[in-house]
Amino acid sequence: MWKTIIRRVLIMVPQIIILSLIVFFLAKLMPGDPFTGSGKLSPQMDLNQIQAIKKELGLLDPLPVQYFRWIGNILHGDLGMSYAYKVPVINLIAERAGNTIWLSLFSVLLTYLIAVPLGVLAGRYQGTHIDGGISFYAFAIIAIPGFVFYLLGLWLFGYQLGWFPTTGSISIAADGLLAKFFSRIYHMILPAILSSVISTTGIIQYLRSGIIDNTQEDFTRTARAKGVPERIVFDRHILRNSLLPIAAFMGNTITGLIGGSVFIENVFSYPGMGKLFIDSMNSNDYPIITSLTLLFGLMTLLGNLLSDIIMSIVDPRIRIE
């Protein structure tokens, strides 16, 4: 089993390299200096000045040189300076990253809390109204574009009903550690619930069909034939086999949340990485964009890695010898 995990981790190495190359080439397409954000360039200058400054900043060096310089800087923690905020990019990202990650984790937690009972109910009572209702809910939620869902949720529960705050990650008035903590949670509840509702659909469908399949398997029929009480048949035989695979979904869920943070943070004006990305786009703050794209890509890869590793631990059939 360790062989599989190590092999899988090793596969990530070329993936990370390819990702960095892609981001590098995208960055070279951006105007100005996306690597250090020195701000010395401005469109008003005439061409000769621009060329001279470019040379000074090392932007006319051969591409491999620029690439390795960039990577070297990253590994030293230097992600350049932000045009708009005039602070090191890494500071900005560090501030926001925490918000996004906490929101995502909260969301994953809620996702499993909601999805598992619903999926089990739908599978157990397959064909009844309960199952019909849950399946309908799953179909409907998947179909709606996420951001519309968030927006309507924000409008209904935030503005119309006033149950939850509508912007930000923490209330300015919060004072003291405990108050700050609860304020953060309060701001996270609505976006987390909404995004988890969307994530639950995949798990519910998978869990439901897993339970239905396992119910028809021969080992279940054997257990029943042996006279094992139905409750135990369900818990020990059917559930256990159906629950394990959805652990692997965790990685996918996290990946989806990271990608979707662009939308949800915009709707809720939540200061995380997604909002930072859009704001930077609007203010032409390319150094942040470059670093964020790299970071998002890395987190996606990590999410996939997590999924694959959990899957190989949980399902012995997938292991490669």
Give me the residues that bind another protein (CB under 8 A), please. Answer: 7, 15, 18-19, 22, 26, 29-31, 139-140, 142-148, 151-152, 154-155, 159-160, 166-167, 259, 262-263, 266-267, 277-278, 281-282, 289, 292-293, 296-297, 300-301, 321
| Of residues 169 and 233, the one with the C-beta less far from another protein | 169
- The beta-carbon contacts of 236-239 under 8 Å, at least 24 apart in sequence, are 238/123, 238/211, 238/214, 239/120, 239/211
CA distance 297 to 13: 13
| Of residues 27 and 81, the one with the C-beta less far from another protein | 27
How many CA atoms are closer than 13 Å to the CA of 321, on its beta-carbon side? 1
The two tokens of residue 195 are 């995004």
Cβ 185 to another protein, closest distance in Å?
Answer: 22
| Of residues 138 and 248, the one with the C-beta less far from another protein | 138
CA distance 170 to 284: 27
**3-state DSSP assignment of residue 81:** strand
What sign results for the dihedral spanned by CA atoms 161, 192, 298, 301? negative
Cβ 8 to another protein, closest distance in Å?
Answer: 12
Cβ 102 to another protein, closest distance in Å?
Answer: 20
| Of residues 125 and 139, the one with the C-beta less far from another protein | 139
Residue 88: strand pairing partners:
81
The backbone torsions φ and ψ at residue 236, rounded to the nearest 5 degrees and listed phi first, read -80, -35
| Of residues 44 and 282, the one with the C-beta less far from another protein | 282
Instruction: Count CB-CB contacts under 10 A for residue 206.
Output: 17
| Of residues 16 and 243, the one with the C-beta less far from another protein | 16
Cβ 171 to another protein, closest distance in Å?
Answer: 16
Smallest CA-to-CA distance from 80 within 96, 97, 92, 67 is with 92
| Of residues 239 and 312, the one with the C-beta less far from another protein | 312
| Of residues 239 and 285, the one with the C-beta less far from another protein | 285
Cβ 236 to another protein, closest distance in Å?
Answer: 31
What 8-state DSSP symbol labels residue 164?
S
CA distances from 154 to 44, 96, 192 (A): 42, 21, 12
Cβ 212 to another protein, closest distance in Å?
Answer: 14
DSSP H/E element including 233: none
Cβ 220 to another protein, closest distance in Å?
Answer: 22
